[in-house]
Structure 1
Amino acid sequence: MTNIATLTLNPTIDVAYEVDRMFHTRKMRTKSEFYSPGGGGINVARVFVRLGGNARNYYMAGGATGDALDGLLDLHQLVRNRITIAGHTRVASAVLEIESGKEFRFVPPGPTIQPVEWQACLAQLENAQCKFMVLSGSLPRGMPGDFYGQVAALMHRRNIPVVLDSSGPGLKGGLQEGRIFLVKPSIGELRQFTGQKLATPDEIANAAMEIVRSGQAAHVAVTMGHDGAILATATGQLFLPAASIEAKSAVGAGDSFLSAMLFAISIGWDTAEAFRFGIAAGAAAVMSPGHDLARPDNIQHLYQQVTPIP
């Protein structure tokens, strides 16, 4: 059986460039260019496969850019199930200004999904065979706010644990269905979800614990960038600081975190140790330039640096 399946409703072709310096109006010649298949679920699958797992990608794609995305997934040797849509798949860009070390990211909203298209997506997922179903990324335009909740309900009927990583309506709709195995909000997404400032670690941990107590999710991993991460479960809460590294890009850090944590869980690791492994992967992604995700060697190296579980 496939270890995991991932669902990416609004995938991207991720393009990364480097320029000496950014200017307005003037044509800027790039020093390099990279093309990668992207979007939350696809990124999770890429890291999961690098770590030695198996992943099947379900994704919505359309137009000539959708065909190009298919080709990129094939180049990365990723197993794919495409749900064809009328709209064109979006292209996102990241530009690294070498002089300043700053990264500029351009992310279009993507296509509008028609009812017949998201219904076809649900129909495909009826036959998904996996140990975990990963719902990752924001909802594209046209999708009902409770779509992730509908997928979660479908997976619950089939006894497949659901992992959720979304924001706004996607996060809210998934958690409203409840019984999510693992949810991974960033601190910003958790603040938006709760409507609270969550200014201290205790307030953040309490908000995460409330999600657990309410039955919405069994495990809540809140990522806080350089401030580390908090894990909330029925047995309590755990804070771990971030690994000390030189950040080169923020692209894919959350996806790498989630993928590594889920990979460790899928091979039988204790949840707290899997959480620690996830923190290492998030840091490993930040070490990489904008066109890459976490690499296993870097994850293993940083895993030894993350504060061990007492």
Structure 2
Amino acid sequence: MNEPTTNFTRIVTLTMNPALDISTETRTVGHTSKVRCGPGRYHPGGGGVNVARVATALQASASAVLPVGGLTGRRILELLDDEGVDTVHVDIADTTRENVTVDELATGLQYRFVLAGPHMSADERHACLGALRRATVGAEFVVASGSLPPGVPPDFYQTVADACRDQGSLFVLDTSGVGLANLTSGAYLVKASSRELSDWAGRPLAGEDEQLDAAAQLISKGCTQSILVSRGADPALLVTPTGHQRFPAHEMPTGSGVGAGDAMVAGVVVGLSRCWSMTEAVRFGMACGAAMMLTPGTGICRPDDVWRLFDQRPYASHPNPFSPSTTPEGATR
């Protein structure tokens, strides 16, 4: 296990199930026969890894905590180093997974093959928590994002939320399934897609009103202080104890949506770390998510595209990104 290269990092991400993302294209996808593809593109992946990649590209202070195993794990670390992403890794016995995305050129359809991930022992997950605690000393935000691999208990993210409270960091969670279902308290912000919110509610949510009601329930139960619901081409919803806001989606050409939600989270947290209001931070996150549609495969969004989509506002119009940290308005630690 290695340690952070700095003593102070404003954003720390946790990815319990990272992946080596492989993307390619072919004319048609068919069964039983060989599907010959174009060149492969390789990127480090997994929710928190992508958040750290985007935050780093946007010149934010970020560090990624992740378990790695086998050759794919080593390759992920090499790729992150190439992108200048600070990492804190924990070695595990099993091999880090690979995910494959194939674009079908004849139809414009995209096929995504996502593996379950390596089995983690109790000692390995405890080592990840220890690495996270050390990395978050002085950190303002901790972002836990992505699925939980086999061997990790369903309430693991609640344990992370408790650790963040003890450390005085604001906890941001972007996950689905059992990870979200077992969160009971401690989040500053939860980001969920409309499908993930439906899964949490245990029923289909027919329309915006039902989605707002479900989001309000998450808040009233004490799970989180606020929730951001991404809804594809429909406006995103930011729900707080005092009401909600809609954020129209950018009209973008058809492209790869892989990692768009991760980029959205990264943009929001980067904005908040620069002392912007939640409204401005979400708008920035929307621009980051849309900019991912302009990159091939699982490549990260380009900062120039992000700023252009963010109403072409000049960098100087916002607070100094390296100014002293302040707590976002309304947040409690």
Superposed pair shares fold, TM > 0.5: yes
From 94, 97, 117, give the equivalent of 2:124: 117
From 227, 249, 255, give the equivalent of 1:242: 249
Give yes or no for the alignment of 1:135 onto 2:144. yes
Q: 1:187 — aligned with what? A: 194
- What is the CA deviation profile of residues 164-207 of structure 1, one whole-angstrom value per residue up to 9, with x for unaligned ones? 0011111122x21x121111011111111111322121111122
Q: 1:55 — aligned with what? A: 62
Instruction: Extract unaligned runs of 5+ from structure 1.
Output: 306-310
Runs of 4+ in 1 over 4 A off after TM superposition: none
Aligned residue type for 1:165: D
From 89, 100, 103, give the equivalent of 1:96: 103
From 33, 54, 64, give the equivalent of 2:40: 33
From 279, 282, 303, give the equivalent of 1:275: 282
Number of residue equivalences: 303
Q: 2:113 — aligned with what? A: 106
* Stretch deviating more after TM superposition (115-124 or 295-304): 295-304
- What is the CA deviation profile of residues 51-101 of structure 1, one whole-angstrom value per residue up to 9, with x for unaligned ones? 110211110111122112221111112111111111100111111122222
Aligned residue type for 2:218: I
From 292, 295, 305, give the equivalent of 1:298: 305
CA distance in 1, matches of 2:178, 2:32: 37
Contact 1:14–1:36 at 8 Å: present in 2 too? yes
CA distance in 1, matches of 2:306, 2:20: 25
SS in 2 for 1:218: coil
Identity rate of aligned residues, in percent?
40
CA distance in 1, matches of 2:11, 2:223: 21
SS in 2 for 1:152: helix
Q: How far 1:19 sits from its partner (Å)?
A: 1.8
Contact 2:189–2:225 at 8 Å: present in 1 too? yes
SS in 2 for 1:77: coil
Q: 1:11 — aligned with what? A: 18
SS in 1 for 2:87: strand
Contact 1:20–1:97 at 8 Å: present in 2 too? yes
Instruction: Extract unaligned runs of 5+ from structure 2.
Output: 1-7, 313-333
From 41, 44, 47, give the equivalent of 2:51: 44
SS in 2 for 1:126: helix
From 174, 180, 193, give the equivalent of 1:171: 180
Give yes or no for the alignment of 1:146 onto 2:155. yes
- What is the CA deviation profile of residues 260-300 of structure 1, one whole-angstrom value per residue up to 9, with x for unaligned ones? 01111110111012112111221111232223232222222
Superposed CA RMSD: 1.5
Contact 2:41–2:297 at 8 Å: present in 1 too? no
Contact 1:219–1:232 at 8 Å: present in 2 too? yes
Contact 1:251–1:293 at 8 Å: present in 2 too? no
Aligned residue type for 1:180: A
Contact 1:262–1:274 at 8 Å: present in 2 too? yes
Give the TM-score, by structure 2 length.
0.87
Give the TM-score, by structure 1 length.
0.93
Contact 1:14–1:93 at 8 Å: present in 2 too? yes
Aligned residue type for 2:181: K
